[in-house]
Amino acid sequence: MALTLVEASKLANDQLVAGVIETIAQESPVLQRLPFIEIVGNGLTYNRENAAPSAAFYSVGDTWDESTPTFTQATATLRIMGGDADVDNFLKTTRSNVQDLEAAVVQLKARAVQRLFDNTFINGDETSNAEAFDGIDRLTVAGQTVAMGTNGATLTLEKLDELVDKVRGGKPELLLMSRRTRRKLNELARASGSFLEADRDAFGNMLQYYDGVPIGINDYISDATTVGTSSDCSTVYALQLGEGALSGLTAPGGLTVERVGSLETKDASRVRVKWYAGLALFNTVKVAKLTGVRP
């Protein structure tokens, strides 16, 4: 069964682990919604659906034609993410509340892990960094790409609608964009005489919606991508999440906080935040992107 980090944190017995997961999920719209499948082993080999089977009408006595879906075998490998956080023993002794100090140091490391995941989720490229996993920019196939134009163009609601329609088998569950693109989308909504829907997320933060689809911000979506002769372009991603769509992968136990203990070379104790994680796209029509979005 696939669980989001938010749901997984409710099952954690260690309060420090639960706090780390909450910190990571609170600041990442992707990690709030992306379900993770727990796998045993260092990777998952699966069949990615390419084309659905067909059906037809027949007369009595007709010969029936066989039609099967086509698949491509894909492999997603778990990658090792994390970092060490050292807590100075002098500060432990002189501070009145040791747990608060440790929690503050680990929280900063947790945010670093969250930023690494958010960056890799968009820009991950196994060919340039063998220790990372492929992000959604590489996982999106050519047939699921909508272009603003040969040299890019200013965002329009019509193009955004076309992007939403590229995701099949239901609406996208998340539109992911840069802050600049969201400002432009707000401008377009006001110009059309309406406003984007808004509500609060699970953490009480305001969340905007376009046509019922939540809008997420990712600071690692570049606003300086080159398309044709333009070097000021951005990208918008439409994602359907879950088993059979786009899903995270994690080793048993998920994200963990390990107390390494006292250090030999300095007067401190070490806590390690680590996560064996990856990303799998089970159906290519569940992810689409709009390229060449200019200011």
Q: How far apart are CA 206 and CA 183, in angstroms?
A: 15
Q: How far apart are CA 161 and CA 2, in angstroms?
A: 29
Whether 50 contacts 282, CB under 8 Å: no
pLDDT per residue as tens, the chain (295 positions)? 678 877 766 666 677 777 778 878 888 999 999 999 999 888 889 888 777 788 999 999 999 998 888 888 888 999 999 999 898 888 878 875 655 787 888 888 989 999 999 999 999 999 999 999 999 999 999 999 999 999 999 999 999 999 999 999 899 999 999 999 999 999 999 998 888 888 887 777 889 999 999 999 999 999 999 999 999 999 999 999 999 999 999 998 888 888 898 998 899 999 999 999 999 999 999 999 999 999 9
Same domain, 191 and 159: yes
pLDDT digits (tens, 9 = 90+) for 138-169: 999 999 999 999 999 999 999 999 999 999 98
Q: Are strands 174-177 and 79-88 parallel, antiparallel or unpaired?
A: unpaired
Same domain, 38 and 116: yes
Same domain, 126 and 252: yes
| Domain range for 91 | 5-49+71-134+246-274
Angle at 218 between CA 217 and CA 219, to 5 degrees: 115
Residue 177 domain-assigned (yes or no): yes
pTM: 0.89
Q: Are strands 268-281 and 256-262 parallel, antiparallel or unpaired?
A: antiparallel
User: How many separate domains does the chain show?
Assistant: 2
Could you tell me which residues come within 8 angstroms of residue 191 by beta carbon, excluding any fewer than 6 positions away?
Answer: none
The residues that bridge with 258 in the sheet, in sequence order, are: 272
Report the amino acid identity of residue 217: I
Same domain, 230 and 119: no
Q: How far apart are CA 153 and CA 147, in angstroms?
A: 9
